Amino acid sequence: MQHHVYLSPGMFGFARLASYDYFTHVEAALAARFRLAGEAIETHVVDVLPTASVRRRAAKLAEVIAETAHGKGPIHLLGHSTGGLDARLVASPSSRLSVRDEALAWIPRLRSITMMNTPNYGTPLASFFATAYGQRALYALSAFTVIGLSLGARPLATASVLLEILGRGNRALGIELRALDASVDSLVGLFDDASKPEVRTYLDAIKKDQGAMLQLTPEAMEMMLAGFEDRSGVTYQSTVSMAPTPSTRKWLATLGHPSRALSLALFTAIHRITSRHDKAYPCAIESLSVGGAKDRDRDEAKLVAAFGTSPDLEANDGVVPIRSQLWGTLVWAGLGDHLDVLGHYHGDERKPAALRHHDWLTSGSSFDRTHFDALMDAIAHGMLVAAGVTSARRTSRIRAR
């Protein structure tokens, strides 16, 4: 049976950008597990606008699937971060997307939706990025992420100015913002792949359309939740992670490593912003919200098993509160930052460039291949079971090479 799996990137996300592939580790891991189960898989990475509105991104997702999902095999959607909202919206029976009817003809073949670190109830970080100074910081952080992941390097000049903006917030001065802009321009100029059109298009898109930032605020997600509807017959599964709260011990571990120290400082600033919450909009499921008491108890037991305690409302992966990441069936939980879960963690630098695991920011999560394998096992297993594959249990015995 031929399965079509669509991968939708999220905040800071892209598909294949110049010489770098955002989902390369996820694609390889899923392909290996489907092969072990005796199933054929065709993966498609959806090149959505990185910070555009969820509705526009979902429309793009629908059109890509309509153009590529040939045959009659099952369809699976996997969204990381905002990409999970794209998948939920495109599948929602109540959605009204600006696409022709034929673009949704594949819906009856949809079997599963996987949400990795998705802000289902919003994130305080979006509230920060929705401000005038936050928009500049978002652009800089996106450039920092792309270049850092591509080269395995942390651009210190940009990070230091960005840290100042994140730390001062709305007290940031105009001169600091100008310094940030100049630092990013200089950084992009040093990046060999930056001269390629797709890289410039990606960065320009972040400047021109940041609609998703407004929609991902906790207050706006309250309205979006009222319009989302799960589709009957489709399996909804989520994976969640959180990074340890930055501590003195982690700072001591960076002594003698200026790059890691500044990277940890930058992550600490983002983590702190994400940990803020309003009692009225806590970025978490409410008692009368989606799911029954039995399901919530089951999820809580999994969280306690993974972390040894029940995570509080401040716990997050550096971008999304862990409580906001819960939706549908929780299939995996563990320590990891927002991009660790995609395979972007500190790994073996001796591997060929395309297979290297480049860390994003120093978060101290200690996420490694063992965690990544377990995460991919859970995702693949859920997809295969949703498609009625009886040999899905075999996927737990594979480890990505």
For the segment 95-109, what is each residue's pLDDT rounded down to a tens digit? 888 888 889 999 999
Amino acid (one-letter) located at 147: I
**CATH topology assigned to domain 2-126+213-397:** Rossmann fold (3.40.50)
- Tokens representing residue 83 in the block: 């990409």
What's the CA angle centered on 384, arms 379 and 390, to 5 degrees?
135
The pLDDT score that the predictor gives to residue 336 is: 94
- Residue ranges of E strands in 120-271: 235-242
Residue 189 sits at φ, ψ, to 5 deg, of: -65, -25
Rounded to an integer, the average pLDDT of 333-337 is: 96
Cα–Cα distance, 138 to 207 (Å, whole number): 9
Query: How high is the mean pLDDT of the chain?
Result: 79
Which position has the token pair 């971060």? 81
Euclidean distance between CA atoms 327 and 28, whole angstroms: 25
The CA distance from 90 to 282, in Å, is 26
CA distance 143 to 187: 8
What whole-number distance in Å separates Cα of residue 387 and Cα of residue 395? Answer: 14
Alpha helices in 37-155 (DSSP H): 54-68, 82-91, 124-129, 132-151
pLDDT at 401: 38
Interval 283-331: pLDDT, tens = 998 653 445 667 788 999 999 999 999 999 999 999 999 999 999 999 9
Burial environment of residue 245 by CB neighbours within 10 A (0 to 12, 13 to 18, 19 or more): middle
CB 37, CB 395: distance < 8 Å: yes
Structure tokens at 40: 């054929």
- Band of pLDDT at residue 174, cut at 50, 70 and 90: very low
Residue 156's alpha-carbon distances to 89, 144, 147, 202, 386, in angstroms, are: 38, 9, 12, 22, 45
- Residue 381 has what pLDDT? 97
**pLDDT, position 285:** 82
* Helix axis angle, 24-36 to 369-386, nearest 10°: 60
pLDDT at 197: 55
pTM exceeds 0.75 for this model: yes
Q: Which residues contact 39 (CB under 8 A, 6 or more apart)?
A: 1, 3, 384, 387, 389
Q: Is the dihedral of CA 113, 117, 122, 128 positive or negative?
A: negative
Give the containing element (helix H, strand E) for 221. helix 218-227
pLDDT of residue 86: 93
Rounded distance between C-alpha atoms, residue 103 and residue 64, angstroms: 8
Q: What was the pLDDT predicted at 164?
A: 58
Q: Which residues contact 37 (CB under 8 A, 6 or more apart)?
A: 380, 384, 389, 391, 392, 394, 395
Instruction: Note the pLDDT of residue 160.
Output: 57
- Tens-digit pLDDT profile for residues 220-247: 998 888 888 999 999 999 999 999 987 6
pLDDT of residue 51: 64
Number of alpha carbons in the 13 Å side-chain half-sphere of residue 380: 33
Which of 25-34, 142-151, 177-186, 262-271 holds the top average pLDDT? 25-34
CB atoms within 10 A of CB 173: 12
